[in-house]
Amino acid sequence: MVSTWMRWGRLLCAGAVAVALAVSTPTAATAATQNPIIGDGSVYSADPTLLVADDTLYLHAGRDEAGENINDFVMNEWQAFSTTDVDGGEWEHHPSLMRPEEVFDWATPGRAYAGQVVEGTDGRFYWYVPVHEAASTADDKFGIGVAVSDTPLGPWTDHADRPIVSQTILDNDAHNIDPTVLVDDGRVWMHWGSFGRLQAIELAADMKTLVGSPTQITSGVTGFFEAPWLFERDDTYYLAYAANNAGPASGCTEATYHACIAYSTSPSPLGPWTHRGRILAPVSSTTSHPAIAEFQGQWYMAYHTADAEGGNHFRRSVAIDELNWDETQTPARILPVVTTPAHGADQTPRSNVAPWATVSASNEPIPTQYWIKALNDELVRPNPLPPDMWGSWTASRPAQEWIQYDWTTPVRVDRARIQFWRDTAPGTGDGVADPAAWRLQYWEAGEWKDVREPSGYPTSTREMHEVTFEAVTTSRLRAVLDAAPGPAGRYSAVAVEEWEVHAVQPDGVAAVTATTVAGVAPDLPTTVALEYAGEHIAAPVQWDAIDEAAYAAAGTFTVSGFVEGYAAGRISAEVVVRDEHPWRTNLALTGAAAAQSTATGATTAALNDGVVAYDGAEAAVWRPDPRSGEPGWAGYSWAAPVVVDTVTAHFWTADDLADLPAAWAVQVRVDGVWTDVSDADAAPIEAGAASTVTFAPIAADAVRVMLTPQDGGASPAALGELEVLGEPQDALAPEVTLTTTGVAGAEGWFVSPVTIRAAAIDDHDQRTTIDFAVGDAPWRTTTDVRAVEETLSEDGEHTVRARATDAAGNVSEVGSTTVRIDTVRPTVTGALDAGARTVSAEAADRGSGIARVEYAIDAPTAWTAYTEPVAVDEQPHRLLLRARDAAGNVSLTASVDVPIGSDVPMEGNVAPRATATASYTSGWNSVAAVNDGSLTGSSWGTWPNVGEQWVQLEWDRAVTLDRAGVLFFRDAADAANAGMIPPREWRLQYRDEASGEWRDVDTDDPYARSSETLNEVTFAPVTTSRLRVLMQAWGDASAQGSSGILEFEAWAAESASPTLDVDVTTTARCVASKATLVVTAANADDAPVTIRLDTPYGKRTIAELAPGSRASQAFSTRMSAMPEGTMAVTLTSGAADTASEEQRVVVFDEQSC
């Protein structure tokens, strides 16, 4: 079926489409109005490929068919679009071109992933696609097949009768998808790969036979993840690809799940490659896929997004935009693609002000699987992925987190809405769970305060909770989230999909008016005043673009605007446009008329009475007195200088009384001196019409016209009206104001970059010249402006100056303001005094200075001011520290772990008190999971490694153990021979303290392999500081069954209270510069006691120490420095058949000689 589409929404032939719909299935969707090509959600498309053939551009693509709540790529077939005019927007849709199982009899249905169609060396068309191989025994069943057709649209048949690439064929463990193929001068090259592994190989001219072995491309393709696209231009090879090198400073993407499109270049198809940067930022779908081709002299890039109606990460739609080049570089550089349509801010009136806030969180840098900007993107997806939310999951999860909004203009708010997310129930101490509790805080006078009268704080997930509270005006709001606790002091993470903050709706909005002159765009305010019972709060406004025609001539018009947080509707501003020269007028009307002489019956008042007369005896005119004998002049004077540039004379004539002048000229009086005007036009002499002279503008206090009569004065010249055009001299200087915009901290500091706006207002000029300077820098002059802005980003104190000069040269007074900026958090560190069991804090700040330091014990709650080193009891604790500077910035939380006191007995499961290490740990696992006290949640693993592996627990002292248990992690059955499988065999070993060797524990218990219950083993008591699990993996080869553990427990032997009254003490001394350990035993018992001493430096026995006696043994260490350590002491008393035995661990101190 072929259906006609218009990319820009114009259906070419409704009748033709109706016929097509009547005879064909499936039906095609309605044409999109703009990108994506189909935007109504009736058909989704992904993974585009571009092909140019017969002056037609073909865009082949997969088809997404996942339901709204399905997080999987449900892709059963491929489709295509074609056009002969990309700019015109006419596309034809070709649905259901190919299905994997219908073309490849070795393939399963589904998984119709990204491929590419190329024209082969023989002129036929080849479609390289990844599909699942039905009979494959490989772990990953994807293979790359090749279909062939005589036309770009099929029908397609299997070209190779089998996959040409697969794990089995290449003996690799790669994810063999996303092939891209380039036919170049008769040679054929194919690149493919995913999950960061990029491979390339040459194909024979038959388009299916591999030539040689694949090349692994590991350098020059920074961040490569998948979706390669290979093409050639001007003898340079270009490789575009989806990259996901993520992080806050990444030039690609902040979140791991998102991808940008980057590219590299090479002189050959196999490299070496040079990374050139990003050309497409992450789009609305997590995945991204490029296709690049030249068509009709213009280069294009196709890609996919989630922008169609109902779209999401698994319901994508293809789009296409121009790709342009920077030819000044060699090789030519691809310019960043400008996507269409432009995605501007949503200007639907609403009360939610969160979208205009700057977001921050306590766990910055944010774990890269999350995206902090999802908090205020106003999108709540039915089945979100990690980048659709903010979250805090990492291996180390604190008891409390916070998320925060900052506004550069304070907002008045009284309501918030929030939606939490989880993947596990509270109580496990692992995963992401509902928060245990939470609260809202606002910033006031440099302090965080709980909002008043909250309506309640629900904690359930996947539903939007609304919390109302007493209205506050603030520039900062935060949600403080208490994590759900679990066993052994661990906490689950928290996650938020969306967090809205709603403004209080005002009583009204103050009217907005603006004035401009014709031809000059009006300067509209950046904020409007919201009215609240007599109080006014500024709110940012975004005005619509103004057509130049609106202010081309004098008049009025209105401009519509969107106010952030104002839900009642859009507002409007009235703009008054004045004439191009609003101050220009007939100055004669305000001047004092004068003349050299005035004839009887004439009057100088006629010069500026507003009545123009050219002839007639009845008219009121001025004419000179013929008796004066002078040519005559007339004009005006003003009390203050005026600026003049035009004089218009209306000459009056009458028989025998007056005639037109033979000539006339304009003079001005400046500083008491009369001079002819400069740059004057020739003075015309018109009968019955205006006679006008223009000249260079000049400031003068008087103007006159010099009249030369005809006939030597017999017929004097007379005036029916004399106009002088200009404007009053501008003697008033403009006024300049400085305003600051930024996030206000405490004590007059800003905690964000600050925008300084210097604006000038003048009584005459709409625009002025503004000089602007920061600190001691020279003036920076900007002409013909209403205002200038500069953003200050550097921390510190800045003095900002500004002045304005109008067209008349009047200079304003210098305005100045001081701006103090501190955007950097202070730092704090802690130091442990192990002997005193105290923690001291040291804080530093390079900006506003430290205001205070606080500490909390074990959880970031109940913060207390730090004044001196903090002492803790004998139990293990984590002491948390934070510092705040004068501006209000708070440091990252520092922590110091205080181990359990040496006098606290080792009892019960002592594994959590040990430090865990391992032979190997997979990158996504943590060995700390084995002794976190939880039988669920986090695990340790070694995938894909196999062979002998171990996990070890080490204590800071010797402990007597007699039982241990291991819970293995499994994600596959034994028969799968893949993934995580409990070890084939394992055993427990302890470290012999005397010899340092590892020894098997003495046990008759079996070593079970359960992943459901703890595999406990009891054994003869051992006194040791280390215990380990030694495992032999199930698998014999990589990834065929690796070992993993959920929990490793070790139990201290129950010890009876000492029954023998024997005191064993240690001292140390130096002998010949070597440390010697001296052990002394004193028997206060009533029977002889044999004492066996087992130290790291040897073993000795004190036999039958008599009651009341003492004895010592010296152990030479042969070291100049003996470290602190432990020794085992065994006391035996009585006959062999009735003897009592007691074991002790004795600690000895370090000694340096």
Residue 15 has a pLDDT of 30
Cα radius of gyration rounded to whole Å, the chain = 44
Residue 1056 has a pLDDT of 62
* CB-based contacts of 166, cutoff 8 Å, min separation 6: 133, 136, 138, 141, 142, 143, 144, 176
Residue 29 has a pLDDT of 34
Pick 598 or 714 by higher pLDDT: 598
Contacts 24+ apart (CB under 8 A), 341-346: 341/34, 341/35, 345/542, 346/378
| Type and span of the H or E element at 17 | helix 14-23
Q: How far apart are CA 38 and CA 166, in angstroms?
A: 34
Q: Confidence class of residue 937 from pLDDT cuts 50, 70 and 90?
A: confident
> Does residue 65 register a pLDDT over 50?
yes
> Does residue 457 register a pLDDT over 90?
yes
> Does residue 344 register a pLDDT over 60?
yes
Condensed to tens digits (0 to 9), the pLDDT of residues 1052-1100 reads: 998 665 578 999 999 999 988 899 999 999 999 889 999 999 998 889 9
**Alpha carbon separation from 868 to 382, 840, 864, 1047 (Å, rounded):** 51, 7, 11, 39
Average pLDDT over residues 676-684: 93
Q: Are strands 187-194 and 180-184 parallel, antiparallel or unpaired?
A: antiparallel
Q: Confidence class of residue 1136 from pLDDT cuts 50, 70 and 90?
A: low
Residue 1055 has a pLDDT of 67
Pick 543 or 1123 by higher pLDDT: 543
DSSP annotation of 168 reads H
> What tokens appear for 566 in the block?
């104002």
Q: Is the peptide bond before 982 cis (omega within 30 degrees of 0)?
A: no
Average pLDDT over residues 957-980: 93
From the candidates 64, 92, 133, 226, give the one annotated as an active-site residue.
226
Please, are residues 339 and 319 in contact by the beta-carbon 8 Å criterion?
yes
> Does residue 23 register a pLDDT over 70?
no
From the candidates 47, 307, 771, 932, give the one annotated as an active-site residue.
47
Q: How many residues are recorded in the chain?
A: 1153
Q: How far apart are CA 752 and CA 793, in angstroms?
A: 8
Q: Confidence class of residue 14 from pLDDT cuts 50, 70 and 90?
A: very low
DSSP 3-state assignment of 524?
A: coil
Sign of the CA dihedral with 279 first, then 280, 282, and 288 last: negative
Task: Give the residue among 1078, 1075, 1070, 1072 at the shortest CA–CA distance from 1121.
Answer: 1075
Residue 249 has a pLDDT of 87
pTM of the model: 0.76
Question: What domains does the chain contain, in order, with CATH numbers?
Answer: 3-334 (2.115.10.20), 354-503 (2.60.120.260), 508-578 (no CATH), 585-725 (2.60.120.260), 735-821 (2.60.40.10), 827-898 (2.60.40.10), 911-1052 (2.60.120.260), 1062-1152 (2.60.40)
Residue 152 has a pLDDT of 98
* CB-based contacts of 1148, cutoff 8 Å, min separation 6: 1066, 1068, 1077, 1124, 1125, 1126, 1127
> Does residue 193 register a pLDDT over 90?
yes
Residue 28 has a pLDDT of 35
Residue 11 has a pLDDT of 29
Average pLDDT over residues 147-174: 96
Q: How far apart are CA 343 and CA 874, in angstroms?
A: 59
Q: How far apart are CA 334 and CA 325, in angstroms?
A: 5
Condensed to tens digits (0 to 9), the pLDDT of residues 841-871 reads: 999 999 999 999 999 998 887 899 999 999 9
* CB-based contacts of 206, cutoff 8 Å, min separation 6: none
Give burial (CB, 10 Å; 0-12/13-18/19+) of 15. Answer: exposed
Q: Confidence class of residue 2 from pLDDT cuts 50, 70 and 90?
A: very low
Residue 1057 has a pLDDT of 59
Average pLDDT of the chain to the nearest whole number = 92
Pick 6 or 907 by higher pLDDT: 907
Look at phi and psi of residue 832 and say left if phi exceeds 0, alpha if psi is from -120 to 50, else beta: beta
Q: Confidence class of residue 765 from pLDDT cuts 50, 70 and 90?
A: confident
Residue 47 falls in the annotated catalytic set: yes
pLDDT more than 90, % of the chain: 79
Look at phi and psi of residue 1005 and say left if phi exceeds 0, alpha if psi is from -120 to 50, else beta: beta
Average pLDDT over residues 966-978: 92
Look at phi and psi of residue 720 and say left if phi exceeds 0, alpha if psi is from -120 to 50, else beta: alpha
Q: Confidence class of residue 1119 from pLDDT cuts 50, 70 and 90?
A: confident
For the chain, helix, strand, coil in percent to 5 are 5, 50, 45
Please, are residues 389 and 367 in contact by the beta-carbon 8 Å criterion?
no
Please, are residues 406 and 357 in contact by the beta-carbon 8 Å criterion?
yes
DSSP 3-state assignment of 853?
A: strand
Tokens 């205002």 belong to 787
Condensed to tens digits (0 to 9), the pLDDT of residues 385-405 reads: 999 999 999 888 889 999 999
Residue 915 has a pLDDT of 93
> Does residue 513 register a pLDDT over 60?
yes
Q: How far apart are CA 576 and CA 461, in angstroms?
A: 53
Residue 680 has a pLDDT of 92
* CB-based contacts of 394, cutoff 8 Å, min separation 6: 363, 367, 493
Give burial (CB, 10 Å; 0-12/13-18/19+) of 25. Answer: exposed
Q: What are phi and psi of 21, to 5 degrees?
A: -65, -30
Please, are residues 1010 and 982 in contact by the beta-carbon 8 Å criterion?
yes
Q: How far apart are CA 1004 and CA 1013, in angstroms?
A: 19
> Does residue 683 register a pLDDT over 90?
yes
> Does residue 712 register a pLDDT over 90?
no
Q: Confidence class of residue 12 from pLDDT cuts 50, 70 and 90?
A: very low
Condensed to tens digits (0 to 9), the pLDDT of residues 215-270 reads: 999 999 999 999 999 999 999 999 999 999 998 889 999 998 999 999 999 999 99
Residue 862 has a pLDDT of 85
Tokens 């080849």 belong to 126
Q: Hey, which residues does 802 pair with through a beta bridge?
A: 772, 815
**Which residues in 133-217 belong to E strands, given as ranges?**
142-149, 157-158, 165-166, 180-184, 187-194, 197-203, 210-217
Q: Confidence class of residue 105 from pLDDT cuts 50, 70 and 90?
A: very high
Q: Of 554-568, 723-737, 1020-1034, 1132-1146, where does mean pLDDT reach its minimum?
A: 1132-1146
Please, are residues 705 and 649 in contact by the beta-carbon 8 Å criterion?
yes
Q: Confidence class of residue 25 from pLDDT cuts 50, 70 and 90?
A: very low
Q: How far apart are CA 768 and CA 1119, in angstroms?
A: 84
Residue 396 has a pLDDT of 81
